[in-house]
Chain A
Amino acid sequence: MKNKTRGTNVLGAAFALVTLGIVIFSIVYLTGHRPGLRPCFRPLERWGDRDFGSWKRTEEERRVDEVFSTLRVQNISGSIEIRGWDRDYSLVRYTRQGPFADELEVVIELQNQTLSVYPAHTNAMRKPPASVSFEIAVPEDVHSIIAGSVSGSIELFGMGPEVDQELKTVSGRIETDNAGDLRASATSGPIRFRFSGRELYIKTVSGRVSGDILDLARGGTCELASVSGPVTLNAFKELDTRVAFKSTSGTVHCEFPIQTAVRNKNLLEGTIGEGSSSIEITSTSGSISLNRR
């Protein structure tokens, strides 16, 4: 009798385990289209010899021979990688992922010297989950690049020093290895840049900001604002600028010899050289640091 009772208990536990397995499998399947989850569930990405469920993906490539001065990429979910190359045409490679990837169309259109690239749902009434990641190669001397995403990183490599960039993401990393004028904002991701233009605007809430200032023209302006992320800048030795660093609870630090007007733990105002340009950094709790390269 006792054995029979134990038997039903074991059976009940076995059924509960099977159910738990089905629940976990469902969660993995139903949330797997999100790009951030890909690395975690990589072994499950393929089912047999085909893409599995939410990881179903299609890769396509389109060549653009027309010349344009501005590239505008707008994404919702998925990464954007833009690379400068020495060829005179552009290549847009995109990967659509998710159970409804087929219902997502990538629009590539050229208008007024601007090449726009963005995903659009084929059925405006139904917007099921799907993500697109872009890998775009453009001539390195395009005039400007505007890229935005809601959930996904934005990375630019090999662009010329004259290329103006406007980069914006909510949750994701921003990285550019060479920029002219740069405007970048992220809510939670880090921002990493190398800048040699005239105007720099960086804004973040919780991401770390780190950047190299390779050149700053006379009259140039750098404005950086952070809430909780630290800001670290490395500037060239001949930097000639006015600085104003202000942090509510973080520390401020400057390696350059500076003629200070005000200096304390959280505030630094002064001039480096003749002060022909300006750098303003504000933060709430993140530390601020200007280093000499």
Chain B
Amino acid sequence: MTEKDSRYERAKRIASSKVSFIRHFITYIVVLAVLALINNLTSRGYQWWLWIALFWGIGIIFDFLKTYVFMGGRMKSLEDRMVKREMERMSHEE
């Protein structure tokens, strides 16, 4: 696999992960809106849908960190810089 191919694969993975995150968030909002509606139409008392909002929300935040921080974002560019630096060091040694 050429370097171009591998970069394309990585870019594709990152883009697909970002789209997946956005889809995940929209599903979260729509489902919560429906649950909140059901909750308040059947009983205006205790807002039980917030339990789902809480735990699912924690999952969304982890999804965000995975997609934007650890995969395509800062961590990856840090890794790239370190690889580049190591390669430079190795070429100097040679």
Residues in A lying within 8 Å of B, measured CB to CB = 8-9, 11-13, 15-16, 18-20, 22-23, 25-27, 29-30, 53, 56, 99-100, 102, 128
Contacts and interface: CB of A to CB of B under 8 A. Distances in A.
A19 B28 contact: yes
Given A29-B47, A99-B46, A100-B46, A23 B22 contact: no
A201 B73 CA distance: 63
A18 B68 CA distance: 16
A15 B47 contact: no
Q: Which 3 pairs of residues, A with B, have the shortest CB-CB distance?
A: A99-B46, A26-B54, A23-B57
A26 B51 contact: yes
Interface of B: 18, 21-22, 25, 28, 32, 45-47, 50-51, 53-54, 57-58, 60-61, 64, 67-68, 73
A9 B58 contact: no
Contacts of B73: 9
A45 to B, nearest CB: 15
Given A19-B28, A100-B46, A12 B61 contact: no
Contacts of A25: 50, 53
B46 A12 contact: no
B21 A19 contact: no
A23 B58 CA distance: 7
Contact of B21 (A12, A18, A30, A56): A12
In terms of DSSP, what is the predominant structure of the interface of chain A? helix
Contacts of A13: 64, 68
Contact of B18 (A12, A19, A30, A128): A12
B61 A16 contact: yes
Given A26-B51, A26-B54, A99-B45, A19 B60 contact: yes
A19 B61 contact: yes
5 contacts: A23-B57, A26-B53, A26-B54, A56-B45, A99-B46
Contacts of A29: 47, 50
Contacts of A99: 45-47
B86 to A, nearest CB: 27
Contact of B54 (A9, A15, A30, A102): A30
Contacts of A128: 46
A26 B57 contact: yes
A242 B64 CA distance: 69
Contacts of B47: 29, 53, 99
Contact of B53 (A8, A11, A23): A23
A20 B60 CA distance: 9
